[in-house]
């Protein structure tokens, strides 16, 4: 029974994320990046990598994926466990932009700080945080 309840909750989160406005998602990502800039943990090149997440609309710049994306499964859930802080943040931004529920495990204080920043902007914009789940090991 628990699996069925978890599945129904996951399905409702996927539907909720799909209903989010593209402009709201982009605003939350840009606000979070701006906040990260003020912390001065990342250099200019790393910040540019983060900003690419909001600018790129194609996940794979490849003709196969470009013209066959309607055949690709684009619903599900992703688990992120990354030691590299920059890759962790970019991955979260990317999957949020794609409106995919995210399970994650943090491995540094900066990653925890980033989650707090993201949650702050989700709250400010009236977006539910239920699609983000921290998995403790």
What proportion of the chain, given as a percentage, has pLDDT over 90?
20
Is the per-residue pLDDT at 83 higher than 60? Answer: yes
33-52 pLDDT, tens digit each: 889 888 888 888 888 888 88
Instruction: Please give the domain boundaries of the chain with CATH numbers for all domains.
Output: 2-134 (3.40.605.10)
Question: 70 or 82: whose pLDDT is higher?
Answer: 82
Is the per-residue pLDDT at 80 higher than 60? Answer: yes
Question: Would you say 31 and 130 are in contact if contact means Cβ atoms under 8 Å apart?
Answer: no
What proportion of the chain, given as a percentage, has pLDDT over 70?
80
Burial category of 30 from C-beta neighbours within 10 Å (exposed 0-12, middle 13-18, buried 19 and up): middle
pTM: 0.74
Q: Report the pLDDT value the prediction gives residue 72, as an integer from 0 to 100.
A: 53
First to last CA, the chain: 24
Q: What mean pLDDT comes out for the span 64-78? A: 60
């Amino acid at each position: 029974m628990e699996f069925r309840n978890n599945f129904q909750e996951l399905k409702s989160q996927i539907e909720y994320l799909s209903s989010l406005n593209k402009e709201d998602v982009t605003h939350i990502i840009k606000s979070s990046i701006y906040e990260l800039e003020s912390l001065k943990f990342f250099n200019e090149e790393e910040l540019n990598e983060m900003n690419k997440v909001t600018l790129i609309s194609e996940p794979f710049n490849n003709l196969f994926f470009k013209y066959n994306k309607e055949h690709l499964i684009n619903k599900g859930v992703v688990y992120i466990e990354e030691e590299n802080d920059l890759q962790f943040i970019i991955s979260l931004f990317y999957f949020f932009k794609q409106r995919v529920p995210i399970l994650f495990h943090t491995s540094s204080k900066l990653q925890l700080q980033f989650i707090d920043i993201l949650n702050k902007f989700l709250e400010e914009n009236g977006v539910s945080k239920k699609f983000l789940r921290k998995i403790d090991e």
